[in-house]
Amino acid sequence: MPISTKPGDIAFASILSGAYASAAIALFFLVADALGGRILHTPSLMGQVVLFNTAPANVTTVRLDALAIYSVVHLMAFIGIGSLVTKAYSRSMIPGSGPGLFVFTLGLLTAGTMVVDRVFYPGIIDAIGRLPLALGNGTASATMTAMIYWTFATNDSASTDEPVTNSSGPSPNDRVFRATPAARQNGVAPSRLIPPPRRTPKVYSTARTQSSRFASLLFLSVLSFGALEGQTEQRTIVSFEPDAVSDWFAVNDGVMGGVSSSRIRPASHDIAIFEGHLSLENNGGFASVRTPINEGALSKAAAVVLTVRGDGKRYQLRLRMGRNWDGVAYAVNFETTADTWTTIEIPLEQFQPMFRGFVPRNARALNPSQVQQIGLMMTDKQEGPFRLEISKLDATIEP
């Protein structure tokens, strides 16, 4: 088969190997996450950590926006790695053939992963898991090795002591020998050393061959993203960045003579703390905070998802239709585990109407599209100090 040294062919091999490796590791984690009951968790984790600077330990929900953007970044990164490995292989800088190429690629991916974990995003390896990450890198390395090795032909057939015609010389009698051990033992002095052959990609003879390979790559990409169809979307209702936390305000039992206190304050880039002291004096017994949200933020929502780290006490999540300060709220209790981050998904049908501690008769059903306030409350006679960290307050949107 003809051999090409054109830069375009090298570039084609780089893109092909990188794209296939990217699809292979994506498919690996798609299956691994599904078997672990956390569909699309790993790419979403990487997207939230890399793109939104979220601490790996705080990522507990799937964000499709982070997943989609990271998928593009991931593909481009692997094409870059494929270009590096392809270039090194084409210049015979990698010893051996298939095994040497695999070891080189795996070492490159492993070293890159360790640098990312130790320098840029500490904790990312532990969040993904060392074994799944090692298997994923191995899958990507094997795929990239297979694609590069399959794409390239090694021009090293002349490896004996037979004379080889020097095609670059002016005369057919001008011949050169390879400096092999057998030639030296026989006293044959080579007239010129022939450098190691370069590996160059095969010329794809027909458009049909190229089209079939691109079609198979497209199939892998569609298969990777096919799992998105039918999956629910996580929509952020409230951000806990410092500027957004300032929109919250406290409503405590002081309005009825009590002495309970509460506040919400930013703790870090994306975590807020709801804290205070619940007192039963003067017939009091509740402390709460709330914030306005855009009308329609819960349209088409099926559930509210929050990620919290509590103190072992029971809290209440409350929704309000409209911007009125008083009136019917729709509430649901949730439990916390002391010093443990927990993700809680609460279907909207579980929210019950409440008015000053009682269930009112003939209250309107909750209309998610009309919700304009959301809040947290400490009540139920749990007297004493309380503290609840919260990092996520999202809605699950049905497709």
Residue 327 · residue 318 · CB < 8 Å: no
Using alpha carbons, select from 295, 288, 341, 339 the residue that is nearest to residue 318: 288
pLDDT tens readout for residues 255-279: 889 999 999 999 987 899 999 999 9
Domain boundaries, the chain: 7-156+196-231, 236-397
Q: For residues 236 and 72, give the distance between their C-alpha atoms in angstroms, rounded to a whole number.
A: 22
Q: For residues 318 and 232, give the distance between their C-alpha atoms in angstroms, rounded to a whole number.
A: 23
Angle, in degrees to the nearest 10, between helices 7-35 and 41-52: 120
Q: Are strands 175-176 and 199-201 parallel, antiparallel or unpaired?
A: unpaired
Other CB atoms within a 10 A radius of the CB of residue 339 amount to 10
pLDDT tens readout for residues 98-136: 788 899 999 999 999 999 999 989 989 998 999 999 999
pLDDT tens readout for residues 275-319: 999 999 998 899 999 999 998 899 889 899 999 999 999 999 999
Write out the CATH class of domain 236-397.
mainly beta
Backbone torsions φ then ψ of 361, nearest 5 degrees: -80, 150
Whether residue 172 has pLDDT greater than 70: no
Residue bearing tokens 């494929």: 82
CA quadruple 69, 305, 292, 371: dihedral positive or negative?
A: positive
